[in-house]
Amino acid sequence: MLIKRLDHVNIRTRDLPPVVAFYRDILELEERDPPSNLDKTMVRWMYDHKDDPIVHISTPGALSEHGVYDKITGTTGGLDHVAFQCIGFDALVERMKKHNVPWRENRVEVIKMTQVFIHDPTGVQIELNVFDQDPNPEG
């Protein structure tokens, strides 16, 4: 087996609209309907610029017809954060200010990268990494 890349992250919430708005307005992902076997009022998929649905947002019960996974436990186990590689540090900071999103900044000089840490409405920590020079200009 070979893992090529992270496929997607699923965020579960009881209040879908503000979580969708966060990923749409703050991270500039495009909101779309999920596959037709899923209820679009309970599940939203967020697409990146390459047309990949990298963040799935669902409500309890949306992914299980038998209700087995209906509970939100309040913990994600060992998951600490989800990281995205980004371009455009100034635009990123401007968006945080525009939407009144608190952030913490960290500079990693050895690899010429600035990290911006924020939290989505469910409490998931998001790490936004902006390199001084884009290491993947094709992507």
pLDDT of residue 77: 60
Containing domain of residue 95, as a range?
Answer: 9-62+80-131
Residue 94 belongs to a domain: yes
pLDDT of residue 66: 44
Question: What CATH code is carried by the domain that includes residue 47?
Answer: 3.10.180.10
Residue 75 belongs to a domain: no
- For residues 46 and 36, give the distance between their C-alpha atoms in angstroms, rounded to a whole number: 15
Residue 1 belongs to a domain: no
Summarize pLDDT for 25-59 with one digit per residue, the tens: 999 999 999 988 888 999 999 999 999 999 999 88
Which long-range contacts link 33-37 to residues 24+ away (Cβ below 8 Å)? Answer: none
What is the residue-averaged pLDDT of the chain? 85
Residue 139 belongs to a domain: no
The number of folded domains in the chain is 1
Cβ partners under 8 Å of residue 139, min gap 6? 50
Task: Provide the 3-class DSSP secondary structure of residue 30.
Answer: strand
Residue 68 belongs to a domain: no
Arithmetic mean of pLDDT, 94-107: 94
Confidence of residue 60 (pLDDT cuts 50, 70, 90): confident
Residue 73 belongs to a domain: no
Residue 33 belongs to a domain: yes
Residue 108 belongs to a domain: yes
